[in-house]
Amino acid sequence: MSARRVVGLIRAGTCCLGASLSGRAELGTARLDFLRSLLTAMRPHFFALPAGAALAGGAACPAAPGWRIATAAALSGLGWGVGQLVNDLLDREADRIDAPDRPAVRGALPEGPTMLVAMLLGVAIAFSISLLHPGAVWLGLLSALLLLGYGPAKRTPLLGNVAHGALMAMAALIGGASAAPTSSLSVVVARTAPTAAVVAGWAMVYLEANYEKDRRGDGMAGYRTLPRLVGLRASAALRGAAAIALGLVAYRHGLLPGLVAPGMMALGVLLVIVSSSLVLGAGTEQAALRGYRASVHAAALGMLALGSAAVGDLAMLGVASLNGLVVERAFRLSPNP
């Protein structure tokens, strides 16, 4: 997969828009089936990651009406879904090996219509973000570039991790901007940067677990991810150590206030250790896939813990519980959702 492939998808979406406006568009599948495939491919069980990042950024800025930060969190989650649509279209070669049941691999997501939906949603999200803070549109633009560049970045060691971490950091900055609509973007960035850095690190820890269970398919697609360079056991050890370090940094710098946030982060770190231990013991992609469920729960718990101060302990417990049920449902339907 290359930048040329990204351009080809954008062209397919643009052509589909033209065909739709002229009444010549053909979906090629039943509309209801297409909508179901879109929702599945957007992977709502991961929405807690960018939403939690936005909440964390909002908590780092002065108090603002809760609806503003909640809106930023919802838009960030939806933006993640858009990114997953694009990523699935780009990653079909690797997914044929690692996730053959995904809609894009099964041909349930026609390129033109799917890309058109992604583009229209992207424009709507960018416009909505600009209403929260005038400068946030630039953060949205950077996020879009990171989404499109993530696939090509995986061909360079560690660059995929950096791109994913930077994307989650953008969500944190968007949350910060939503909480401080009268502050300049430079002030928002300066105030939110420490939180955004921890958010980025936690996102990179999750991604490493994803790369471990997908190592075989990534190799077939020509991606040079860290598990392919250093091996599964070294990768698992690194992410386990990184999770512990990030949890301690977040706690010591006051990013986990109250009682609920520290407990959620501690549970998240523990689940990363459990997941890493499975890979350290067996050293296989199958072990990484068995531990992936714990990694997804850990990613959500840690990210939501960082955003707990924005919504309060009771509300965060409700959000985390609901997200846990959504994640469990996804894994009941597929071992690699």
CB-based contact 48:303 (threshold 8 Å): yes
Q: Which two tokens stand for residue 20?
A: 């739709």
- Coil, helix or strand at residue 21: helix
Give pLDDT tens digits for 204-223.
999 999 999 999 988 888 89
Task: Please give the helix or strand (H or E) that residue 43 lies within, else none.
Answer: none
Give the pLDDT of residue 3: 67
What's the chain's Rg over C-alpha atoms? 19
pLDDT of residue 303: 98
Dump the DSSP string for 266-316.
HHHHHHHHHHHHHHHHH-SHHHHHHHHHHHHHHHHHHHHHHTHHHH-HHHH
In the prediction, which pLDDT does 148 show?
A: 81
Hey, where are the domains in the chain?
43-67+121-333
- Please state, in angstroms and rounded to a whole number, the distance separating the CA atoms of residues 327 and 336: 11
The angle subtended at Cα 148 by Cα 114 and Cα 232, nearest 5°, is 105
CA distance 89 to 87: 5
Which mean pLDDT values do the consecutive 10-residue runs of the chain (337 residues) have? 76 89 80 91 94 95 80 95 90 81 86 92 93 92 88 90 96 95 93 97 97 92 92 97 98 94 98 98 96 97 95 94 96 90
Other CB atoms within a 10 A radius of the CB of residue 330 amount to: 18
Q: Would you say 274 and 202 are in contact if contact means Cβ atoms under 8 Å apart? A: no
Residues 6+ apart with CB under 8 A from 87: 147, 150, 151
| CA 280, chain centre distance (Å) | 25
In the prediction, which pLDDT does 27 show? 81
pLDDT at 106: 87
**Torsion angle, alpha carbons of 95, 75, 39, 158, to 10:** 10
What is the pLDDT, as a whole number, of residue 64?
67
Provide the pLDDT for residue 332: 94
